Structure 1
Amino acid sequence: MATPDEGTVRQRNVAGKRKREGISASNSDVELDKLVKASQAAKASGSEREYKIGFVLITILAFVSRFWGIHHPNEVVFDEVHFGKFASYYLEKTYFFDVHPPFGKLLFAFMGWLVGYDGHFHFDNIGDSYIANKVPYVAFRSLPAILGALTVSVTYLIMWESGYSLPACVLAAGLVLFDNAHIGQTRLILLDATLVFAMACSLLAYIKFYKLRHEPFSRKWWKWLLLTGIALSCDISTKYVGLFAFITIGSAVIIDLWDLLDIKRPGGSLSLPTFGKHFAARAVGLIIVPFLFYLFWFQVHFSILTRSGPGDDFMSPEFQETLSDNAMLANAITIDYYDSLTIKHKETKAYLHSHPDRYPLRYDDGRVSSQGQQVTGYPYNDTNNVWEILPAVQEEKRLGRHVKNHDLVRLRHVGTDTILLSHDVASPYYPTNQEFTTVSIADAYGNRAADTLFEVRIEGGKQNQEFKSVSSHFKLIHNPSKVAMWTHTTPLPEWGFKQQEINGNKQIAPSSNVWLVEDIPSIPADSPRRQREEKKVKTLPFLQKWFHLQRLMFWHNNQLTSSHPYSSAPWQWPLLLRGVSFWTQNDTRQQIYFVGNPVGWWIASGLLAVYVGIVLADQFSLRRGVDALDHRSRSRLYNSTGFFFLAWATHYFPFYVMGRQLFLHHYLPAHLASTLVTGALVEFIFSADSAEHEATYQAIKAGKKQAVAKRHVTARERFAGQSMLAAWIATGVILTLVIASWYFFLPLTYGYPGLTVEQVLRRKWLGYDLHFAK
């Protein structure tokens, strides 16, 4: 789609060929075009009507398949616990944190608002009843069902707008229509229906934009350029994997711009100022507008979520001050020297802890420790979690002095009356990190004085900013060695009571080094220091809030690396080797198992390989001087079908470099692109349009009269009709197999009826880990 105009390429090549053969290019082209256009015009009105009938039927079937039995099951299924919960939080205006952008979740909240839902149910557990909790779950599920049905329609339109035959349109749309994975994912409160629909719309809008390439800067040209950008923005505003659609469209645009830059471009070259206008228009429509649209949804997100909620802990204290009813800020107390503190790791929620037991002389790998007192992370409240904060210089005790940002302090472990220390001894698990231990007060103010000094470094803090409990997130930096106190979740061996290791991290920047003071036990409950005046909600600039949230979203997204029983690798997706269990009900033996239509996926994946084989074979033939394809077929093979293949590749191969958890649903956008390639290859195999052009040209070349040439066109049309019949037969055979497979797996997609052991076993085609198989 993004390479030079296929008609122009054909004309340029054919014209050269005819010039060498002594034929007038202008006369033959005029006669050829008249004959072919006259033939095509006679069929146009009938074809248009057939396409419209096909579109209507496909759309009706799409809505029926997505909405049939959508009320079942009437309880929380799989990741509805997340996205239903987020919709409720929006409706309650309660702040939450999620790794996905807000657009898709805002749509669910909007649907809930339309039906008058107040957000009282928080979707806490899979299996919780919607009926008992009076949740309008059908309305929520209707949103993805509508988008899923429209995705089928858009798939049909993509093929239609690309100029493919009716069988090709029906086949591509049919593979999505009767796919169990697309149906299953669009009948539940999940984001993927929005993602795939936006991706499909971006392809359709770009195709319509590209078809207007000979009308640059016209109103329609601008309309479809901007609609492409908006669709791309909706894609990435739903999930960050929507970036792949930008890569697809961006690659096509780069090829298109490269062609416009060609001084030998057919139809005349563009001046550099005009080329600059083309470049700027695409930059505005496909980069600036999508980015502004993307920011808009975050502005809506911040505007709605104004109350303190479960997402507070992820955000900075400055951000939390913008939320009303924030308990953290209400309970914040300025910390004074000689206060006793409990210090908590922000990420793992473990308390800084110590006890009289000591590190062993040698660790399992043979390294020697200091045999000092153990300093660990402990997840529960305990008297050994209490530390007194002392000034750097030993002095008579003076109360009422505030601890401030960048102050040097010492920490006394109250339970054992020892002082926290770090030194150049390797920690138990990290030979490159420093050990944390404690020493006596005499040593702390004597020969180990330097090693017991720590800097309080408040995150985002200003000079002389007061250090406060709860609200001041800070890093404790060992002053001589400049390492940050850090912990992780790998438990220590039995000698460490399986508590967390505390060590000195040489990399100070990571947010995993952040701690907070949870409480000050030395202050009585009735102390004036605990009496807090009601604080006014503060404001932050939008971009500051957005940058802060973006950084957290990217970081937490990259941390989703833990194993999952239903995760799968990208190489398993095209062959549909694994699925995901969404829901089970033991009493009725019903289950929802997320898996695609095996026959449809195997055919689409196989034809992807066929496409690569055809392109390689064509290139090899051209190298050997054999031109097996006419120009029109080759142009469509490389341009239009190539664009679909590009969409598949850019939505599939990037997953190979990801380290996060991956599941089968990540392949759905790529699968849709593979159905487009499938439909296009049916067109390539059975099309006779190009042969019609060539037969007419040969008749004219032989000097035959126009009437004779017309007979050639008539004969060609007869062959075209036979080819169309063959295309319909191939489409019918493929869709019959696909529909049979779709129907066979329907109980796993719709969640009913329940299956016997024998029926379950019959559906374990590739060892799918189904329930109730015994």
Structure 2
Amino acid sequence: MSGESSQLGVRQRTGGGATRKRSKSPAVSTSHNTDNETHAKIAKQKGTGTGPYKQPSEKGYRVALALVTIVAFITRFWKINHPDQVVFDEVHFGKFASYYLQGTYFFDVHPPFGKLLFAFMGWLVGYDGHFLFDNIGDSYIDNKVPYVAFRAMPALLSTLTVPVVYLTMWESGYSLPACLTAAGLILFDNGQIGQTRLILLDSTLIFSMACSILCYIRFYKQRHNAFGRKWWKWLLLTGVSLSCVISTKYVGVFTFVTIGAAVAIDLWNMLDYRRGLSLQQFGMHFAARAFGLIVIPFFFYLFWFQVHFTVLYRSGPGDDFMTPEFQETLADNAMAEKSVEVFYNDKVTLRHKDTKAYLHSHLDRYPLRYDDGRISSQGQQVTGYPFNDTNNHWIIVPSQPFPDSVQRPVNNNDAVKLLHVVTNTYLLSHDVASPYHPTNQEFTTVSKEDADGPRYNETLFEVRIEGKRKQGLRTMSSLFKFVHHPSKVAMWTHTKPLPDWGYKQQEINGNKNLQQKSNIWFIESIIDIDPEDKRLSKEPKKIKTLPFFKKYFELQRAMFHHNNALTSSHPYASQPIQWPFLMRGVSFWTKNDTREQIYFLGNVAGWWIASSILAVFAGIVGADQLTQRRGIDALDSRTRSRLYNSTGFFWLAWAAHYFPFFLMGRQLFLHHYLPAHLASALVTGALVEFVFGVEAEEEEVVMAGQERKKERKWVPRACSESTLGSWIACATIIGIVVASFVFYAPLTYGSPGLSVEGVLRRKWLGYDLHFAK
């Protein structure tokens, strides 16, 4: 986002326009990268070090930076040892750290970087990962868990986020009150503190996002020193920061959108021939940014997955999410060790991969009519049953008989029949609608006479093995689709229970969408296999290997699939429209004896102020555009450049981290707004300077063929010249925010316990707090 046009000290219009000449001071470039060097140069040009253009003293800025950092450390580490129990989602991310330290494979929808940081902290303090954080409220003390060390890592990153926000404002050339306002909104925010001092990923995400914005601003400030050492340094650091964002949570892509939009606008401006760049030079700029902001982040992102696969070498609870081929790369994998080749005439149990239901049948029949009036075949019911039972036993029968003395393996693409052992009937699918899905086919069973006679074809099913198709069908390790031979529908089930006539078991039907991932089944075991069967005698299993990218892409598919599947309701879920106004929070932890609770909630005053300022910014921009259309130019070029390029950049960051959530169908919670809240704090600090840090000056306007006349325009003071109004605004905002922070602190720190009256006073917007009676 360039402010190149603001470098012109004289603005000319052609064709009957006007020449406007500043009567006092020349305009300077003040895009989002404006810094103190600009003002120092102006002071030197004016020949004085005093007045509106005196060189700003860095001492005040440095003292304030040290102060906010110290206070941030105190607010983040205050009572960090309380409670000494598992809190909310610490059950997940603490568990993942333990799995890393044990080398046990697990599955999670988030990339590995943030979780690896927790494991690294545990390794530093000598923790062996023996505790698995199973339940909220489990005692850390009793289980000898170094939980303070674990919490110290996110608390430290949260502490550092505050000075990064301050430095972002300072590097952008804003006054001290503006810097303090932005940093103060993060410093005293109950939500930023509450979410980022526990064993959660958000502190890593927010710190990396803040660093990405700061590094990009520092990089953009080097634009007149393109391809210099500092230019490359800040470009690469921006890329590394972006990589840390996306390697922590996939919502980090919103930070890529923020930086990417700024880079796109900058490149578009460079393409203007008036900038004097040849196409070759433009190509070099484009390639450098692509390398630093796309290639470098991607390779760092891949690196953390390589670490993830290297550390997790043992079989664990994440096995079920991966293919058998992947699982064979893990040590102690039960699936690989207990896998047995399946032969024809084996008695087996089949299970659905996703729901873990057994293929089941019993003597009861489908009703003549379903609730919607459709007619069934009244055939024998075939259902999905969650428990092991003799009605789950089936015999794999060859489509063409062969001598019983011959043992033949079941191979990929074989056509087979399934004989239900208890009822002595054969599995069948036919062109009759299933109970819940009129477009899917019903599954039932028929007698041996029908199966060998007129309905022979309808009892044939094709075994389509996933992955290693040359390998025969094996228990546990072979995943397959069971496809009806004539109609080409895949055997499928889902979790919606059947009515009472189906004993609340799962519906089994024929799915016409063969590509659907939930069509997958596996054979769990062979029933009554002879102990002397040579298939049971095995040599020690060797751990196999897979290429990194094959493992990576498989895990990526599983992560995206399960992330999108998080659509179930949650008592503390909330909608994006509620977040800027802090309509509801999340209960993290309670203790009945002492009436203590941790309730995740932002600083009510701070969030409402920041949300109001976002609307004010939009109104100011809209008013400026409207007045310009009517020939009224109320802002000088520097002020407008700062408003659009700097504050606009911060507003873009807020929008990019907020509006995409409206398009998501997954579970959403208040903590998803924290990165956007940080951006709103930057906008608030910038607007404090815009509203209270400008003054009216006169300009001479020379209209074509007319006399000179003067206009009053609003222009900014230099960044060192903080007006009294900006200090009053800063003090007022921080004062209100601190008061709100103290008021809600017992809910943030979980101490002290509150009386009924105290809880009711804090139910300002009807928050669902505990101990309200």
State if a TM-score over 0.5 links the two structures.
yes
The whole-number CA distance in structure 2 between the counterparts of 1:624 and 1:763 is 48
Higher helix share: 1
Number of the residue aligned with 1:211 = 221
Aligned with residue 348 of structure 1, among 341, 352, 355: 355
Q: Displacement, 1:510?
A: 2.1
Deviation at 1:462, TM superposition (A): 2.4
- Once the two structures are TM-superposed, the CA of residue 448 in structure 1 deviates from its matched residue by 1.1
Q: Is 1:663 aligned to 2:672, yes or no? A: no
Sequence identity percentage: 66
CA contact (8 A) 1:62 1:149 kept: yes
Query: Residue 28 of structure 1 contacts residue 700 of structure 1 at CA under 8 Å; is this kept in 2?
Result: no
Whether 2:63 is the aligned partner of 1:57: answer: no
Q: Which residue of the partner structure matches residue 346 of structure 2?
A: 339
485 and 28 in structure 1: CA distance in 2 versus 1, 3 angstrom threshold: closer
Q: Using the alignment, how far apart are the partners of 1:402 and 1:417 within structure 2?
A: 23
Indicate the SS of the match to 2:213: helix
Q: Structure 1 residue 398: deviation in Å? A: 4.2
* CA distance in structure 2 between the partners assigned to 1:742 and 1:529 by the alignment: 68
Preserved contact between residue 19 and residue 702 of structure 2 (Cα < 8 Å): no
Aligned to 1:729: 728
Q: Residues of 1 paired with 2:154 and 2:702: CA distance? A: 55
Equivalent residue, structure 2, for 1:362: 369
Cα gap change, 1:74 to 1:29, in 2 (>3 Å): closer
In 1, the alpha carbon distance for the partners of 2:50 and 2:413 equals 80
Q: How many residues are aligned here?
A: 751
Instruction: Check conservation: 1:202, 1:231, Cα contact below 8 A.
Output: yes
Aligned to 1:404: 411
Q: Which moved more, 1:729-738 or 1:517-526?
A: 517-526
Shift of residue 41, structure 1, vs aligned partner: 9.2
- The answer to whether structure 1 residue 235 and structure 2 residue 245 are counterparts is yes
Distance 1:169 1:142, change over 3 A: same
- Does 2:541 correspond to 1:502? no
Return the alpha-carbon distance in structure 1 between the equivalents of residues 314 and 288 of structure 2: 41
Matching residue's letter, 2:767: Y
Q: Which moved more, 1:585-594 or 1:32-41?
A: 32-41
- Give, in angstroms, the shift of residue 139 of structure 1: 0.2
Quote the Cα distance in structure 2 between the aligned partners of 1:590 and 1:380: 41
The amino acid across from 1:298 in the alignment is: F
CA distance in 1, matches of 2:437, 2:701: 82
- Report the equivalent of 2:105: 95
Any conservation in 1 of the 2:417–2:461 contact (CA below 8 Å)?
yes
1:618 maps to a residue whose letter is D
Equivalent residue for 2:706? none
Partner SS for 1:729:
helix
2:13 and 2:19 in contact (8 A); partners too: no
CA distance in 2, matches of 1:37, 1:117: 63
Matched, 1:602 2:600: no
Partner of 1:579: 585
Shift of 1:263: 1.3
Q: Does 1:271 align with 2:278?
A: yes
Equivalent positions of 1:2-21 (< 5 A) are: 2-5=1-4, 7-8=6-7, 10-11=8-9, 13=11, 21=19
The answer as to 2:257 corresponding to 1:247 is yes
Write the mapping of 1:475-486 to structure 2, written as runs, cut at 5 A.
475-486=481-492
Contact 2:174/2:719 (<8 A) preserved: no
Distance 1:738 1:665, change over 3 A: same
- Does structure 1 conserve the Cα–Cα contact (< 8 Å) formed by 2:3 and 2:641? no
Q: 2:55–2:720: 8 Å Cα contact kept in structure 1?
A: no
- Residue identity opposite 1:541 in structure 2: P
In structure 2, the partner of 1:416 is 423
Deviations 1:133-162 (A, max 9, x none): 000000000000000011111110110000
Could you tell me which amino acid in structure 2 is paired with residue 211 of structure 1? Answer: K
Query: Does the aligned pair in 2 maintain the 1:574–1:602 contact within 8 Å?
Result: yes
Instruction: Give the SS at the match of 2:477.
Output: coil
Alignment match, 2:744 = 745
For structure 2, list consecutive stretches of 5 or more residues without a partner in the other structure: 29-40, 704-711
How much does 1:21 deviate?
4.7
Aligned residue type for 1:325: D
Q: Equivalents in 1 of 2:679, 2:457: separation in Å? A: 63
CA 1:6 to 1:65, structure 2 compared with 1: closer, same or farther past 3 Å? farther
Secondary structure, aligned partner of 2:320:
helix
Shift of 1:38: 3.4
Tell me if 1:628 matches 2:627: no
Map of 1:750-765 to 2, 5 A cutoff? 750-765=749-764
SS of the residue corresponding to residue 13 of structure 1 reads strand
CA displacement at 1:43 relative to structure 2: 7.0
Equivalence for 2:151:
141
- Matches of 2:504 and 2:145, distance apart in 1: 43
The 1:516–1:38 alpha-carbon spacing in structure 2 relative to 1, beyond 3 Å, is farther
Deviation at 1:396, TM superposition (A): 4.3
Structure 1 contact 337–399 (Cα < 8 Å) conserved = no
1:212-250 deviation per Cα after TM superposition (whole angstroms, max 9, x unaligned): 111111111111111111101100100000000000011
Counterpart CA distance in 2 for 1:234 and 1:386 is 50
SS of 2:523 mapped into structure 1: strand
Distance 1:69 1:459 in 2: 53
Measure how far apart 1:593 and its partner are.
Answer: 0.3
Q: Which runs of 5+ in 1 are unaligned?
A: 702-711
Q: SS in structure 2 opposite 1:375?
A: strand
Using the size of structure 1 for normalisation, the TM-score is 0.93
- Picking from 318, 323, 327, the partner of 1:320 is 327
Deviation at 1:480, TM superposition (A): 1.2
Alignment correspondent of 2:32 = none
Displacement of 1:531: 2.6
Q: How does 1:296-695 map to 2 (within 5 A)?
A: 296-463=303-470, 465-525=471-531, 527-688=533-694
- Offset at residue 11 of structure 1 (A): 3.3
In the superposition, the TM-score normalised over structure 2's length comes to: 0.93
Q: Which of residues 178, 189, 194 is equivalent to 1:179? A: 189
8 Å Cα contact 1:469/1:518 also seen in 2: yes
C-alpha contact 1:336 1:399 (8 A) present in aligned 2:
no
Cα 1:722/1:216, change in 2 over 3 Å: closer
Query: Is the contact made by 1:338 and 1:399 (CA closer than 8 Å) also made in structure 2?
Result: no
- Within 2, Cα distance between the matches of 1:339 and 1:629? 85
Structure-2 residue corresponding to 1:704: none
Partner secondary structure for residue 537 of structure 1: coil
CA spacing shift, 1:278–1:722, aligned 2, 3 Å: closer
How far off is 1:533 after superposition?
A: 1.6
* 2:239 equivalent to 1:257: no
In 2: Cα distance, 1:231 partner to 1:447 partner: 68
Q: Does the residue aligned with 1:502 lie in a helix, a strand or coil?
A: strand
In structure 1, the partner of 2:707 is none
2:424·2:448 contact (CA, 8 Å) conserved in 1?
A: yes
Residue type at the aligned position of 1:730: A
Counterpart CA distance in 2 for 1:717 and 1:493 is: 72
Residues 18 and 159 (structure 1 numbering): CA distance in 2 closer, same or farther, change over 3 Å? farther
Q: CA deviation at 1:66?
A: 0.2
Provide the rounded CA distance (Å) in 1 between the counterparts of 2:14 and 2:78. Answer: 58
